[in-house]
Amino acid sequence: MNAFDILKQTYSTSQMVLTSYVSDLTSAELLTRPGEGCNHIAWQLGHLIVSEGSLLDSIIPGHSITLPEGFAENHSRENVASDDASQFATTEEYLALFAKLKDATFAAIDSLNVEDLDKPAPEHLAKMFPTLGSILVLVTTHPMMHVGQVVPVRRKLGKPIVI
């Protein structure tokens, strides 16, 4: 296995866990918050999608996907308090966007050579993620930072344990 294979495997594992946790939730259930002051699952899914696209565009321009009109705004920090279902996507729409992003991210990874991983990150990301490679590690693991919040929602809703 090389670095690119590891990035793709990590990405696939993160997406498998996320998809396992949310694929049987209805669109209405995605609006459930895991606790007081927490963001609901729909917002978190959109945040992951917007973030991944933004990170891809910042390090490998032209490899992200086009999001539906208003999607980024509806999943912005300014909209975390909204419970208006019309501002959020369906479960199926989120999963379809994740599938498109996977293809885009893998194409971006495939466009690189090993030396590219050591290139400096854009200035706004460099303090925490100094290289292009470290940003790709973030892209591949970011969903795992959020899936723990889905488990309490699943328990609250009486959903089965999936992993």
Please name the fold of domain 3-154.
Four Helix Bundle (Hemerythrin (Met), subunit A) (1.20.120)
pLDDT at 87 (0 to 100): 98
Partnered with residue 131 across adjacent β-strands are: 120
Q: What is the DSSP string of 81-131?
A: T---GGGS--HHHHHHHHHHHHHHHHHHHHT--GGGGGSBPPHHHHTT--B
List, for residues 113-146, the tens digit of each pLDDT value.
999 999 999 999 999 999 999 999 999 999 999 9
Q: Report the predicted TM-score, pTM, of the whole model to 2 decimal places.
A: 0.96
The pLDDT of residue 134? 98
Distance CA 89, CA 43 (A): 9
Of the CA atoms within 13 Å of residue 136, those in its CB half-sphere come to: 29
Residue 91: CB atoms within 10 Å? 19
